[in-house]
A and B are shown apart, each in its own frame.
Chain A
């Protein structure tokens, strides 16, 4: 009995000594601020900042290699909290949200085939470029909705729609879309061109009833070329989000009906 107690106590002492030595000489010194910053971040681990999770971003912040304010999910409140801990001023960032640049619903855009394979845009695009006549348009098989960490995207009438209130601007949908038609735009911008087809007008008209034909009318109605509210890629207008137009009248005047005021969908959340 005594021997057993002594052996156990002895082992305990040796182990305690080893732990004490390890704590003294093998300790990894970690900046305590990392833990504080991690706690201040939202913990969504969305990867939108470009770092592997919130912990990765916290380490980069403490190391001074990342700008404060890159966290889309946390927003200004989070940036302010981080600024308080680290004593660095928050870089002012505009909240950005995803915009699906297509408005070719099932009734407007023609479908050239019946696709009945796997319900995923990437796979559908591998099969003859997808079943939509417009090879630039939204296929509506929900690859973006499936990767959205916030459930902000849903498919309506063959078209992906983003709930602006839920979107945290992480950019996962931008990366997954095989047609590359999702863009992160400033949340404050209200006027958008919802088309991704740079082809000439007649070619666009053949496949879609609401495709941009590049008529430049939006540009003319918003003060001409010098006002610099729009840029053009081939026969496709694009809002210049550095200098967005504010006159909502131009939307109604668009002959192609591919412009919209705040097209974001509000889900029932």
Chain B
């Protein structure tokens, strides 16, 4: 085991105001279960889980309330004991409506005492088979906790013919304000170590690279201590501080120097599996303690909140409860962002609930928020320099304004990772990333329509 500096630097990137000092070093605080939980059936990438309960049902903590519904999907378990109040469509952080189970956690079933027994039987990872471990990761409802929420069991089971050579742990956390992963690395380094042992067994003993940005020396120290006695090719790679260092593709380049081809290629096509550090700790808990993924660490920060904190909250906690746990609002927030400032989603209400992918909640006062009006592109080329995917964002934004999605597609808009580096530096305040998202959405819709048409024709 050794600690090295990254020898590869990706092109582009920006340096936003990190503002991490607000929540940095704040020990993870476990939040009491709020009176009402809103558990979304769509907390991961892929098909939403199939709801298995009906209003009036009592559910126990850890009970499966949403069943895995397809290959790219994971189950949803109840984060706490409670009674199902209703099942309704609720607004998610990203703006879409999804079925959610509303749990009243104050109601208790008559006569039944809450049991302290583990939800799943603990497994001895050394004795368990690879299939047993994979099944456990799936049963525990684990999906990537970095943001996209890709089902972890699918990632850990590479398709035949593809081999994982490098397991990369993503601890970059390049988003401004967020310190959740940082704090997990500092406090739960031993869990991450155990998770790595388990994942190495599942993936066939790949080499391990743990990627941490240089602004987290305490996390590097904690990981060095936890991984001191590990066998094999394991390195902690200290990455230069640069946004978007935490992007999967850029992480792979920064740690092993490989380039993931354009979609639909996945990291496994270049022999890499990237997992967020929080996910790895969740795998350790699921196997050793039999504890499914029911809660996660979320950073609540920003200059409009009384006391920024890193909170371990059940998945399904309403934002209003998180803010109340942090002492409430210092000043009325001008903008509320679910996630980080670069890639997070602005939300209009605190009634939205956290999911397994909610890494942060930011309340920003009017001092931090700027109302802009987009102007015309002045061809300065700042977005070209900033784009880590080597695209031409200025061109894409212009053609999307003109409704020419085909031209945007020819300019490889589908490669865009929506990191926001282009919009960040634009002196004309153009909403370039939004243009890319718009083009990607319409291209995806067109591809889906073509597929449906082809399927219908084949059916005939």
- Whole-angstrom distance between the alpha carbons of A60 and B435 in the complex? 38
Q: How far is the CB of B325 from chain A (nearest CB, A)?
A: 22
Q: How far is the CB of A194 from chain B (nearest CB, A)?
A: 21
Of the listed stretches A15-23, A124-132, A148-156, A208-216, chain B binds A124-132
Instruction: Flag if B348 contacts A128 (CB, 8 Å).
Output: yes
> Can you report 14 A-B residue pairs in the complex whose CB atoms are below 8 A from each other?
A114-B371, A116-B374, A117-B434, A118-B431, A118-B438, A126-B94, A126-B438, A127-B95, A127-B345, A127-B434, A128-B345, A129-B96, A135-B91, A146-B403
Asked if B35 CB lies within 8 Å of chain A CBs, one says no
Q: How far is the CB of B77 from chain A (nearest CB, A)?
A: 26
User: In chain A between 95 and 135, which residues have their CB closer than 8 angstroms to a CB of chain B?
Assistant: 112-114, 116-118, 120, 122-123, 125-131, 133, 135
Q: How far is the CB of A142 from chain B (nearest CB, A)?
A: 13
A/B pair count, beta carbons within 8 Å: 50
Instruction: Flag if A120 contacts B438 (CB, 8 Å).
Output: yes
Asked if B347 CB lies within 8 Å of chain A CBs, one says yes
Q: Name which residue of chain B comes closest to A135, CB basis.
A: B91
**Other contacts beyond A123-B434, A127-B346: 20, CB < 8 A:** A113-B348, A116-B371, A117-B434, A118-B401, A118-B431, A118-B434, A118-B438, A120-B438, A122-B441, A123-B437, A123-B438, A125-B95, A126-B441, A127-B345, A128-B91, A128-B347, A129-B97, A129-B348, A130-B95, A131-B348
Q: Choose one: B347, B373, B435; the contact of A116 (CB below 8 Å).
A: B373
* Known A-B contacts A112-B348, A122-B438; A128 and B95 likewise in contact (beta carbons under 8 Å): yes
User: In chain A between 77 and 94, which residues have their CB closer than 8 angstroms to a CB of chain B?
Assistant: none
Query: Contact size class for B?
Result: 20 to 34
Give the residues in chain B near A112, CB-CB below 8 Å.
348-349
Q: How far is the CB of B88 from chain A (nearest CB, A)?
A: 9
Decide if the interface of chain A is mainly helix, strand, loop or mixed: loop
The 0/1 profile, CB within 8 Å of A marked 1, for residues 90-122 of chain B is: 010011110000000000000000000000000
Give the residues in chain A near B434, CB-CB below 8 Å.
117-118, 123, 127
Give the residues in chain B near A117, CB-CB below 8 Å.
431, 434
Q: Name which residue of chain A comes closest to B445, CB basis.
A: A122
Give the residues in chain B near A128, CB-CB below 8 Å.
91, 95, 345-348
Give the residues in chain B near A130, CB-CB below 8 Å.
95
User: In chain B between 428 and 447, which residues have their CB closer than 8 angstroms to a CB of chain A?
Assistant: 431, 434-435, 437-438, 441-442
The 0/1 profile, CB within 8 Å of A marked 1, for residues 56-67 of chain B is: 000000000000
- Whole-angstrom distance between the alpha carbons of A123 and B401 in the complex? 12
Asked if B372 CB lies within 8 Å of chain A CBs, one says yes
Instruction: Flag if B371 contacts A126 (CB, 8 Å).
Output: no
Q: How far is the CB of B91 from chain A (nearest CB, A)?
A: 5
Give the residues in chain A near B347, CB-CB below 8 Å.
128
